[in-house]
Amino acid sequence: MKTLIGYSKQVGYSIILLFAVIVLNFLLIQAAPGDAVTAMIGDMGGASPEMIAELKSSYGLDQSVFIQLVRYVGKMVQGDLGMSYTYNLPVLDLILDHLPATILLVVSALLMALIFGTLLGIMAAQKPNSLLNHIVTVFSLSGLASPVFWTGIILLLLFSYFIPIFPSYGMKTIGFQGGLLESWVNILHHLVLPAVTLASVYIAVYSRIARASMLDVLGADYIRTARSKGLTERVVVYKHALKNAMLPVVTMAGLQFGQMVAGAVVVETVFSWPGIGQLALKAILRRDYPLLLGILFFSVLVVVICNLLTDLSYRFLDPRIK
């Protein structure tokens, strides 16, 4: 019962946080210079004052910020994210069309970073003074110091230009026709470079965290007891120590998921990946505020859900946590 009440409180706090972020995002965007009508007029090469006033009235931009905010929040409560100024389509439909590509990219990069980062950290912790430990340290520092866009460009040059193994842009080959299996193979072929680029920084982060956590756990009394019973090192590390050592890694993964979604914007731009990042960039350039606000809302929603799932995962990794 106490656990259920605790989860209910977490959900309640998350809803309050979502509402606060919706209001804050709206006010920050309103404070930014320019608007959608100004961008449209620039594309058209100019317009009369009457046309400008008519356009602002049609989009509700002639109202006060408070009235616009009340209308926006009211529509959000009803599940209406508004209409895109640029595409003249519902914002929700545009986001749902581009969301699968971003989810595929971010989840692939996250799994890659968790698996390889944790394995590297564990191997380095088992032999803290070995050559492998120094290699992991250098790799981690290099990954943390390299901007994502720079890593993406280097991978493009290496594996799309000099050694043409992987495609350089897009999610599918233009004009590709094939069955379901062939389509997925084609998509995964295009996914390799963007996913590796996005995962590179987080592999470095998780390897350092996993190494430090594993070193701390391996010095615990219950690990010494397990070794004194004659258990193999593999059983000691992967059965007894790994779950507790994974707690900081899982915590960091949940907290950094939002950063990974933000990093996907840069990666999608470099590789022309048709996800939310590309859509957000176009929304910013065109001052398409309803579309940009919808993308920000979905990003915050994903972060909040991931934080809740991170809290729930603690009970699986460590039953003592309730």
Whether 266 and 120 map to the same domain: the answer is: yes
Whether residue 83 lies inside any domain: the answer is: no
Whether residue 293 lies inside any domain: the answer is: yes
> For 202-249, how does the pLDDT look when each residue is reduced to its tens digit (9 = 90+)?
888 888 888 888 877 777 777 777 777 777 767 777 776 777 777 777
Residue 110's pLDDT is 87
Picking from 14, 96, 35, 44, the residue whose alpha carbon sits closest to that of residue 275 is: 96
Whether 227 and 251 map to the same domain: the answer is: yes
Q: How far is CA 29 from CA 52, 65, 284, in A?
A: 20, 11, 10
Q: What percent of the chain has pLDDT over 90?
A: 0
Whether 162 and 14 map to the same domain: the answer is: no
Whether residue 155 lies inside any domain: the answer is: yes
Q: How far is CA 190 from CA 223, 260, 272, in A?
A: 44, 19, 11
> For 15-32, how does the pLDDT look when each residue is reduced to its tens digit (9 = 90+)?
787 788 888 878 877 776
Locus of tokens 């895109």: 84
Class of residue 90 by CB neighbours under 10 A (exposed 0-12, middle 13-18, buried 19+): middle
Q: In the listed set 20, 48, 77, which residue is the last one of a domain according to the structure?
A: 77
Q: Residue 170: give its domain's CATH number.
A: 1.10.3720.10
**How far is the C-alpha of 185 from the C-alpha of 190, rounded, in Å?**
9
Whether 186 and 229 map to the same domain: the answer is: yes
Whether 171 and 54 map to the same domain: the answer is: no
Helix axes 242-271, 180-218, angle to 10 degrees: 140
Q: How far is CA 249 from CA 122, 170, 281, in A?
A: 12, 31, 31
Whether residue 194 lies inside any domain: the answer is: yes
Interval 249-256 mean pLDDT: 72
Q: Please report which confidence band the pLDDT of residue 315 belongs to, taking 50, 70 and 90 as the band edges.
A: low
User: DSSP code of 320?
Assistant: T
User: DSSP code of 33?
Assistant: S
Whether 61 and 154 map to the same domain: the answer is: no
Residue 267's pLDDT is 87
Q: In the listed set 16, 42, 77, which residue is the last one of a domain according to the structure?
A: 77
**How many domains is the chain partitioned into structurally?**
2
Q: Is 309 helix (H, G, I), strand (E, B) or coil?
A: helix
pTM recorded for the entire structure: 0.76
Whether 207 and 276 map to the same domain: the answer is: yes
Whether 221 and 148 map to the same domain: the answer is: yes
Q: Which helix (H) or strand (E) holds 250?
A: helix 242-271
Q: Is 83 helix (H, G, I), strand (E, B) or coil?
A: strand
Whether residue 322 lies inside any domain: the answer is: no
Q: Please report which confidence band the pLDDT of residue 321 belongs to, taking 50, 70 and 90 as the band edges.
A: low
For residue 214 the two structure tokens come to 């594993």
User: Within 10 Å of residue 56's Cβ, how many Cβ atoms?
Assistant: 16
Please provide the average confidence, as pLDDT, over all residues in the chain: 77
Whether 259 and 229 map to the same domain: the answer is: yes
Whether residue 228 lies inside any domain: the answer is: yes
Whether 223 and 288 map to the same domain: the answer is: yes
Q: In the listed set 49, 77, 105, which residue is the last one of a domain according to the structure?
A: 77
**How far is the C-alpha of 241 from the C-alpha of 122, rounded, in Å?**
10
* Domain of residue 134, residue span: 91-317
Whether 210 and 243 map to the same domain: the answer is: yes
**How far is the C-alpha of 83 from the C-alpha of 59, rounded, in Å?**
9
Interval 98-121 mean pLDDT: 87
**How far is the C-alpha of 261 from the C-alpha of 302, rounded, in Å?**
9
Whether 46 and 168 map to the same domain: the answer is: no
Whether residue 85 lies inside any domain: the answer is: no
